């Protein structure tokens, strides 16, 4: 069997610029300024030249911040940098767009530069909710998305829920709006009120856990039939799963370039600096960390169980040299019906998917070296 981890096939590039800072946002971002963008792109070019070893890449993901905020000239500069990467014939190239930036000119520029998937941070179709999130609410969302559909078929929409004071009815209307658009992919995120955000400082409180659970169930029920629930938060039509994000969930290697980006190469997980000043000065990376065998296996379980299809048993055995079915914790969770085993995979039972975090935690702190020896 091919060693799935042996080569890097994916690359994430972070573009940190935004026009306004949203009340819930903990991402690495700075206010847009043309001078800063110019210096940033120069630094990005240098970072990529320094670390990229010429592998053929299957997926590229440009995220933010707001990549779509860049002017045509700036985007051309970015695409010139990306042109130095070897990209396979059958590639997926995603760029995150904010609704306010979407125009015919932007979409044509993206298409001409090999972008073949766009991910749009819609978050909600409801003006009241958008105001709470401090997102723009004066845009005709449906019009902008229909414009995207003229140029792209592979489109994702990010939708947030469990916003303080949001009702089940409001969420239902949001999902109905999404369904009416006939878009092949949706990522749904329950709001996390992160420290150092406006929401946190304003002492907004998370929605009640039971309502959060009701909302998650509602999303699953309403999307059932048309969309495959393939990852805890992600739903897609067949063939439109995010190949890039599957790299993460399959615990495979990927480059992370740009300020605040993270990567995983040769068993080494690294984070880049979150300081744009340091980044522009050429101090790209914080200290990396070679993962121990134990950490690698923990990640394989925790990331793998995010997929509704779970972990492929044979692949796991071939990569990590032990049969996961022989692990005591797996046997216990199967007995409790929390994990399900079929001919090929182990996965979290659909009835327990809402509790996946608790189940994943069971895989922390196990001595997998010893388990591996006992496993032979």
Ligand X SMILES: C[S@@+](CC[C@H](N)C(=O)[O-])C[C@H]1O[C@@H](n2cnc3c(N)ncnc32)[C@H](O)[C@@H]1O
State the residues that interact with ligand X by CB under 6 A: 24-27, 63-66, 96, 98, 121, 123, 158, 160, 189, 191-192, 194
Looking at residue 195, what DSSP letter applies?
T
What is the C-alpha R_g of the chain?
Answer: 21
Residues 134-173 that bind ligand SF4 (CB under 6 A): none
| Contact flag: residue 200 with ligand SF4 (CB under 6 A) | no
Closest CA to 115 of 173, 62, 39, 43: 62
Minimum gap (Å) between residue 35 Cβ and ligand SF4 = 19
Contacts 24+ apart (CB under 8 A), 122-125: 122/157, 122/158, 122/159, 122/178, 123/158, 123/159, 123/160, 124/159, 124/160, 124/163, 124/174, 125/173, 125/174, 125/177, 125/178
Minimum gap (Å) between residue 64 Cβ and ligand SF4 = 5
Among 8, 11, 13, 22, the residue binding ligand SF4 under the rule CB under 6 A is 22
Pick between residue 158 and residue 172 the one whose CB is nearest to ligand SF4: 158
Give SS3 for 289. Answer: strand
Give CA separation, 204 vs 14, 66, 207, in Å. Answer: 29, 25, 9
Binding span for ligand SF4 by CB under 6 A among 22-30, 101-109, 157-165, 361-369: 22-30
Contact (Cβ atoms closer than 8 angstroms) between residue 68 and residue 30: no
Q: Which residue lies nearest ligand X, judged by its C-beta?
A: 121
Kindly give, in sequence order, each residue whose CB lies less than 8 Å from that of residue 49, ignoring residues fewer than 6 positions away.
Answer: 84
* Tokens standing for residue 280: 């522009």
d(C-alpha 211, C-alpha 13), whole Å? 35
Among ligand SF4, ligand X, none, the one that 109 touches (CB under a kind-dependent 5 to 8 A) is none
Minimum gap (Å) between residue 332 Cβ and ligand X = 32
Among ligand X, ligand SF4, none, the one that 123 touches (CB under a kind-dependent 5 to 8 A) is ligand X
Among 14, 29, 222, 319, the residue binding ligand SF4 under the rule CB under 6 A is 29
* Strands lying side by side in the sheet with 56-64: 228-231, 234-236, 185-190, 155-161, 117-123, 86-97, 56-64, 10-15, 255-257
Give CA separation, 336 vs 2, 211, 300, 340, in Å. Answer: 34, 26, 22, 10
Minimum gap (Å) between residue 100 Cβ and ligand X = 10
d(C-alpha 77, C-alpha 71), whole Å? 10
Binding span for ligand SF4 by CB under 6 A among 7-15, 60-68, 81-89, 205-213: 60-68
Minimum gap (Å) between residue 18 Cβ and ligand SF4 = 3
Contact (Cβ atoms closer than 8 angstroms) between residue 257 and residue 11: yes
Among ligand SF4, ligand X, none, the one that 160 touches (CB under a kind-dependent 5 to 8 A) is ligand X
| Contact flag: residue 25 with ligand SF4 (CB under 6 A) | yes
Place of tokens 């495979």: 252
| Contact flag: residue 37 with ligand SF4 (CB under 6 A) | no
| Contact flag: residue 4 with ligand SF4 (CB under 6 A) | no
Pick between residue 10 and residue 98 the one whose CB is nearest to ligand X: 98
| Contact flag: residue 18 with ligand SF4 (CB under 6 A) | yes
Among 10, 66, 234, 242, the residue binding ligand SF4 under the rule CB under 6 A is 66
Among ligand X, ligand SF4, none, the one that 63 touches (CB under a kind-dependent 5 to 8 A) is ligand X
| Contact flag: residue 198 with ligand SF4 (CB under 6 A) | no
| Contact flag: residue 124 with ligand SF4 (CB under 6 A) | no
| Contact flag: residue 85 with ligand SF4 (CB under 6 A) | no
Phi, psi of 349, rounded to the nearest 5 degrees:
-60, 140
Pick between residue 199 and residue 223 the one whose CB is nearest to ligand SF4: 199
| Contact flag: residue 354 with ligand SF4 (CB under 6 A) | no
Kindly give, in sequence order, each residue whose CB lies less than 8 Å from that of residue 82, ignoring residues fewer than 6 positions away.
Answer: 13, 60, 113, 114
Phi, psi of 274, rounded to the nearest 5 degrees:
-95, 0
Sign of the CA dihedral 246, 247, 248, 252? positive
Among ligand X, ligand SF4, none, the one that 82 touches (CB under a kind-dependent 5 to 8 A) is none
Q: Footprint of ligand SF4 on this chain (CB under 6 A)?
A: 18, 21-22, 25, 27, 29, 64-66, 98, 121
């Amino acid at each position: 069997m091919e060693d799935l981890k042996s080569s890097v096939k994916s690359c994430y590039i972070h573009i940190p610029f935004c026009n306004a800072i949203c009340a819930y946002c903990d991402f690495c971002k700075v206010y847009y300024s043309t001078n800063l963008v110019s210096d940033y792109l120069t630094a990005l070019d240098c970072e990529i030249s320094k670390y990229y070893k010429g592998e053929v890449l299957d997926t590229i993901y440009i995220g933010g911040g707001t990549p779509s905020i860049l002017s045509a000239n700036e985007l051309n500069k970015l695409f010139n940098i990306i042109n130095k990467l070897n990209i396979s014939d059958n590639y997926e190239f995603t760029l995150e767009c904010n609704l306010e930036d979407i125009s015919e000119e932007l979409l044509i520029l993206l298409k001409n530069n090999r972008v073949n998937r766009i991910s749009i941070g819609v978050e909600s179709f409801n003006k009241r909710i958008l105001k709470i999130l401090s997102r723009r609410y004066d845009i005709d969302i449906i019009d902008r998305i229909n414009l995207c559909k003229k140029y792209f078929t592979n489109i994702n929409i990010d939708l947030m829920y469990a916003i303080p004071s949001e009702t089940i009815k409001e969420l239902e209307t949001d999902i109905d709006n999404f369904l009416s658009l006939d878009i092949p992919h949706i990522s749904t995120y329950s709001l996390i009120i992160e420290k150092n955000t406006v929401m946190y400082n304003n002492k907004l409180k998370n929605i009640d856990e039971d309502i959060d659970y009701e909302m998650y169930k509602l999303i699953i029920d309403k999307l059932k039939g048309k969309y495959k629930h393939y990852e805890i938060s992600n739903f897609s039509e067949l063939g439109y799963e995010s190949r890039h994000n599957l790299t993460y969930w399959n615990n495979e290697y990927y480059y992370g370039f740009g300020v605040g980006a993270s990567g995983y190469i040769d068993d080494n997980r690294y984070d880049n600096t979150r300081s744009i000043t340091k980044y522009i000065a050429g101090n790209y990376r914080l200290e990396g960390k070679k993962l121990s065998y134990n950490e690698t296996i923990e990640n394989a379980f925790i990331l793998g169980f995010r997929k509704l299809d779970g972990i492929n048993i044979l692949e796991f055995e071939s990569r990590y040299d032990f049969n996961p079915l022989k692990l005591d914790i797996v046997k216990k969770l199967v007995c409790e019906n929390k994990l399900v085993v079929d001919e090929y995979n182990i996965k979290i039972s659909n009835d327990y998917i809402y509790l996946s975090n608790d189940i994943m935690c069971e895989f922390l702190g196990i001595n997998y070296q010893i388990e591996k020896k006992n496993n032979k």
